[in-house]
Amino acid sequence: MVSASESASRGRSPRSCPQATPDGAEALERFILLDEPTADLDPAHQHMAMRLLRDQAASGLGVLAVLHDLNLVSAYADRVAFLKGSRIVEVGAPATVMRQALLEDVFGIPMLVLSHPRLAYPLIVAEPAS
């Protein structure tokens, strides 16, 4: 997921928690919440971490991650939520929501959204602001 969470603390260990259901009972699902799990990692370890999270999601663990690397989001996320001014402005699959106009509106700089030459997800390029 992509957000600009200013208040999220860094350096805390990821934790899983039960989901509360509308009737107040706890569901058996488990979730892991992550804030910038790939920060300060080299590209190989970024992809290794994201593959581990995808494997966990495939095994039934819910994974919610805050990421600002749009290409990692594009490559690994099932669903993306974009926030602007602490409001969700768009939610959906990366291939659906990663549109130039939306990204430029959310991030306030020119963006290019290209088809990846070898893989089936968008490639995002932030252009230098003029």
Check pLDDT > 90 for residue 125: yes
**Is the pTM value of this prediction over 0.85?**
no
Query: How far is the CA of 5 from the CAs of 39, 46, 85, 95, in angstroms?
Result: 14, 20, 10, 23
Residue 89: give its domain's CATH number: 3.40.50.300
Q: How many domains does the chain have?
A: 1
State which residues form the domain around 27: 15-98
pLDDT at 23: 57
Q: How confident is the model at residue 116 (pLDDT cuts 50, 70, 90)?
A: confident
Where is 103: in which H helix or E strand?
helix 100-107
